[in-house]
Amino acid sequence: MLKLSSKSATAWRALQRQCAAGMATAAPRIGDTKVSMSPLEPNAYINYQRIEDNLAVVRDRLQRPLTLSEKIVYGHLDNPHEQEIVRGTSYLKLRPDRVACQDATAQMALLQFMSAGMDTAAVPTTVHCDHLIQAQVGGVKDLARAININREVYDFLATATAKYGLGFWKPGSGIIHQIVLENYAFPGGMMIGTDSHTPNAGGLGMVACGVGGADAVDVMAGIPWELKCPKVIGVKLTGKIGGWTTPKDVILKVAGILTVKGGTGAIVEYFGPGVESLSCTGMATICNMGAEIGATTSLFPYNHRMADYLKATKRADIAAYANSFAHNLQADAGAEYDQVIEINLNELEPHINGPFTPDLATPISKLAEEAKKNDWPDDIRVGLIGSCTNSSYEDMTRSASIVKQAADHGLGFKSKFTVTPGSEQVRATIARDGQVEAFETAGGIVLANACGPCIGQWDRQDTKKGEKNTIVTSYNRNFTGRNDANPATHAFVASPDLTTALAFAGRLSFNPLTDSLVGADGKEFKFDAPNGYELPPRGYDPGENTFQAPPADRASVQVAVDPKSDRLQLLKPFKPWDGKTPEDIPVLIKVKGKCTTDHISAGGPWLKYRGHLENISQNCLIGAINIENNEANKIKNQITGEYGGVPQVGAYYRDRGIKWVVIGDHNYGEGSSREHAALEPRFLGGLAIITRSFARIHETNLKKQGMLALTFADPADYDKVQPSDKVSILGLETFSPGKNLTLRLKHEDGTSEDISLAHSFNEGQIEWFKAGSALNLMAAKGSKA
């Protein structure tokens, strides 16, 4: 537990006096006021009273000031009286306010929920169709094509949400995180979502965490959500943002400081006077990309910029309610953080991160030098703005201001340029206000309101696979091959402002702060710093209504699943642990280096199989590099001696009753929350994933599916495992929290050695393993009830 400094102790005593004075005046209960969480859910109310009551218990127990994230997290405890609360150690049982699912992950989440035997979700839940729309020629045609191709999946989602009482956002509505920000996020709330960028809602002061579908099913079924008590990293912002520097540059800088794993197991909490210079949607951008540093979530304290956004999105009643609860929507004076980073916004330069990883941060003033030194292609083939990270009205108007400056000098885009509106509301508003016309006149293409190229849904035709090239995006993630499936594409992440300016220059070495372009008249000019509107002066245009509320009569609704479908497949329970020590089983693959969820379960064309476990398992680990031969999807079958694809060899072992393990490197499973990366190895007969370290969401997903997620007690022991080894895992008969297991290696030369394996399983998670999955355990308990 944190040791209280003298400064914090003084602050704590002052806080106690303040609370005592408040109690003496017998103030009305905050819960006496009833405010709906969303205009779309008039009968689901914000529960500030629970936070107030829980914190009274927690404050009395901890006797110290609390950070904002602690207030919200502990305010949602299932049992504040008995819950152990130690940052970085305890497993908390929490009661989130809501669940959100995107269409690619919702399929499996709903299939699992159907297996649980419930008839209604216990908390408000929504499903959003944003992942299955491929960017090809433009918004209208791409959307029509997607609706036709994915009709079967959309029908399943529409009928399943109607059957179980969930809200359904049809294709074309927009990206899940923008829809949530516009309609559902609220200060002090807690939400889980089946997408790693769910923390976007932290821009409205909400603790919003990305999870796998099995976690979502727990909450939908009324079971407390389990989360290891997060550490808290504080980021103090001073100064004032302005000029070419944007909120995106804050998180690009933080990513460079913390790296892709520096936020693992922690909530990143922003505070300080610099916060006041950020818009609500700018704060959401920062929180969104916190997923790239492995953070549990990120959030900002409630302020007037959030209130303005709530009012602009027709939620003035929530703003007023939050104003009355503001004392619990900011950190206590003297609250202590596990780590503090300070960033002076006056001195912060625009950054561009990449290629191939979102934490390689380069200030714009150093970019030309770094590009030349590292042989990054200078010619920019495509600039892409939008996505769930940067598609707000403010983002679009700032980019449009740069387009207007170029147009005034007779210039169009030199690189190809695409715009992805984050929601139908934003699209309709920028169409009304002229930004769409400006983009298209300059040569840009406005894509559908969907994820598109950000997640690999991009039918890119201007380069061949293997051709070295550069693209610049305002997205969040730039792993190898993520956007276009071309491992030679150098993808860089920047603000929409920088991306737009670079697309006019067509060169990575161009610095819009210092360099000039030549206009159509032959004269040089420099861009002025962009400007835009935080919120639309004429208000938002809602555009087309794409929301489907659950019907009043749900009993007659039939969920659409064709038994012959190659896209949807009802689930069969995994087998429970047989109680035996796994002995002399093969290493399926020893993975070399970075292995993200994109490597484990590729996106792009594979997204169509997200509801069919058998079919999508054919992509299991096909992107991982085999340390034996430095090749992807080519491993040795230890029984036949022949080489084959990873899924094929895994299935060969499974069909002969042979369990297997995967050996992985650091931060294994970073990236997306997709639980398919855990479901697939489980389906193919895997027993354990053994790594130097895990990304948080993936480790939890493996446990939920009944797999052993184990780490080398000494990370250097990774080097001792040979791809040809036969391994045994000793100690499962006495598997218990905090007690290491033993990995016995039998090498081809006849020698053997034992190494120690650590794990983070608690008692409940061990029961998941024994039962075969968390869903199996839930069903077993339900049958006994």
Catalytic residues, by residue number, are 130-131, 195, 477, 672, 674
Cβ-count burial of 357 within 10 angstroms (0-12 exposed, 13-18 middle, 19+ buried)? buried
The token pair that represents 88 in the structure block: 């970085």
Q: What is the DSSP string of 708-763?
A: EEEEESSGGGGGG--TT-EEEEE-GGG--TT--EEEEEE-TTS-EEEEEEE----H
Are 584 and 646 within 8 A, CB to CB? no
Contact criterion met (CB below 8 Å) for 688 and 769: no
Q: How far apart are CA 428 and CA 451, in angstroms?
A: 17
Q: Residues 228, 334: contact at Cβ < 8 Å?
A: no
Closest CA to 390 of 295, 472, 276, 509: 472
Strands 643-644 and 635-636: antiparallel
- Rounded-to-integer distance, Cα 211 and Cα 693, Å: 18
Residue 775, CB half-sphere, CA atoms under 13 Å: how many?
28
Spatial CA neighbour of 32 closest among 11, 46, 22, 14:
46
In whole angstroms, give the CA distance from residue 566 to residue 666.
35
Are the C-beta atoms of 293 and 259 separated by less than 8 Å?
Answer: yes
Scan for tokens 């600039």, then name that residue: 383
Q: Which of 123, 186, 261, 136 is nearest to 692 (CA)?
A: 261
Tell the residue number behind the tokens 């697309």, with chain if given: 503
Which long-range CB contacts under 8 A does 685-688 form with residues at least 24 apart?
Answer: 685/650, 685/651, 685/653, 685/654, 685/655, 685/658, 685/659, 685/660, 686/588, 686/650, 686/659, 686/660, 686/661, 686/662, 687/582, 687/585, 687/659, 687/660, 687/661, 687/729, 688/582, 688/661, 688/662, 688/729
Cα–Cα dist 622/602, whole Å: 8
Which tokens is 207 given? 């603790």
DSSP 664: E
Q: Which helix (H) or strand (E) holds 642?
A: none
Residue 384 host element (H or E): strand 380-386
Assign 456 to helix, strand or coil.
coil
Q: Tell me the CA distances in angstroms from 9 to 2, 66, 91, 356, one per residue in order.
A: 12, 12, 26, 45
Question: How far apart (Å, rounded) are the C-alpha atoms in residues 503 and 61?
Answer: 56
Beta-sheet strands, E only, within 165-214: 167-169, 190-193, 207-210
Angle between helices 696-704 and 763-771 (to 10 degrees): 50
Backbone angles phi, psi at 402, to 5 degrees: -70, -40
Contact 382, 471 (CB under 8 A): yes
> Token match 């990305």: residue?
210
Closest CA to 625 of 724, 723, 725, 728: 723
**Polymer length of the chain:** 785
Task: Give the separation between CA 257 and CA 293, rounded to whole angstroms.
Answer: 9
CA distance 457 to 467: 19
